[in-house]
Amino acid sequence: MWKMIKDFHIEMSRGLAGRPSSLKMLPAYVDRPTGREKGKFIALDLGGTNFRVLDICLKGSGASSKPRAMKFVLKKKLVKGSADPLFGFLADSISRFLRKEKIGPARAIDMGFTFSFPMKQKGVASGSLVLWTKGFNVRGVIGKDVVALLKKALDKKGLGRVRIAALANDTVGTMVARSYSDPHCDVGVIIGTGTNACYAEKLANIRKLNGPKMGSMIVNIEWGNFNKLEKTSYDKKLDASSDRPGEQVLEKMVSGMYIGELARLVIKGLIGKKAIFNGTSSPGLEKAYNFRTEYVSEAASDRSHNLGKMKSRLKSLGIPNSTLEDRRTVKSVCEMVSARAARVSGAAVAAVITKMDPTLSKMHTVAVDGSVYEKLPRFSKNIAKALQEIFGRKAGRIRLVLTKDGSGKGAAIIAAVAASGE
């Protein structure tokens, strides 16, 4: 973990200076909120197979109303098609929400847009897609300004008075949502299907940016791509068969998209050594990504005497006659894969905090969202344990707080910060 922290700092510094690095260190062109921002804002949240539209009233003093929200499901043809149908669908969804909530086009409407994919921002309301992740592969978007694409679609729908005041990714949104009511919050982390982090950096340290050097700005690390990690033979197998070999190395050890597949590869390796199931595999275990991350969670949470849940799950995967010893071994594999993911995450969090505060002299709140962090048994405890090993008593100065659905609320707050800065 200490080696990882040292390497992480080197990559962070290189990325901030605009030099080649596995960490992109993308400026978000927005600072943390003061907590005094007020007004009604619409938030758009595109981060996976759902698109959410929310209406939020910020009351100042860190308080806000409960959002009114609508969720729209993106069909496969939209996430694998071309730009016009996707952005047309988003504009149509926004139009439906405004009609339902009786928000008329008479007044200009400020919106914050959470776009949870790696993007290079040119300003608070402008950013081009760097690459698609999370199974998206929409033609004609990479390298294009996603705000301009959405604005064009909104104009076609007759929604010319809608203004995208701010653009952010989900990690930035999560951090901003928490920091609106918690001034100690200076790190945002997502550990779900994918993983990423952001933090508040001094402008003087963002050497690739021209302009004023006073104050601070949120930096989107894109830490899933960190590549200074030692790989096991299983990591190498997973990487070689992935869509983008050699990329997203940390993500392939930590995120929900890959944890189940890592466990499957280890189980397959043990079958090959005749250590479990008498050396007999099954079509269910031979199929890539067929051992899902939820099965890892299931195994880790099974406290029954005979590991009955595990027995049923293995039966569904074509192993009808597992022994208790087999099931204990599979459970151990799942716990090890999960524990390593948590320790890698913990070391990455430690690296980000010590970049800002090398001696850990202040309190730091880390806003965390994502299904892996929330639902994988002992995952959050293993991160806390890793931080304790690294910092000892000082680990008490770091508070990890689950910030559910922060990305949507955060987009509205970022729009408020952008609007107040004009």
Q: Which positions are annotated as active-site residues?
A: 134, 170
CA gap 19, 15 in Å, rounded? 6
State how far the Cα of 163 lies from the Cα of 148, in Å rounded to an integer. Answer: 11
H/E run at residue 196: strand 195-202
212 exposure class (CB count in 10 Å sphere: 0-12, 13-18, 19+): exposed
Q: Is the separation of the CB atoms in 55 and 103 below 8 Å?
A: yes
Q: Is 9 helix (H, G, I), strand (E, B) or coil?
A: helix
Nearest to 308, CA basis, from 290, 333, 331: 331
364, 397 Cβ separation under 8 angstroms: yes
- Under DSSP, the state recorded for 183 is T
Strands 216-220 and 195-202: antiparallel
Q: Which helix (H) or strand (E) holds 416?
A: helix 406-420
In the chain, DSSP finds a helix count (H) and a strand count (E) of 15, 14
Written as one string, the DSSP assignment of 95-124 is HHHHHHTT--TTS-EEEEEEE-S-EEEEET
Q: Is 372 helix (H, G, I), strand (E, B) or coil?
A: helix
Tokens 């190395």 locate to: 249
CA distance 245 to 329: 29
3 state DSSP class of 134: coil
Burial 129-164 (b: 16+ CB within 10 A, else e): bebbbeebebeebeeebbbebbbebbeeeebeebbb
At 162, is the secondary structure helix, strand, or coil?
Answer: strand
The DSSP secondary structure of 220-258, one letter per residue, reads E--GGG----PPPHHHHHHHHTSSSTTS-TTHHHHSHHH
As to burial, measured by CB atoms within 10 angstroms (0-12 exposed, 13-18 middle, 19+ buried), residue 411 is buried
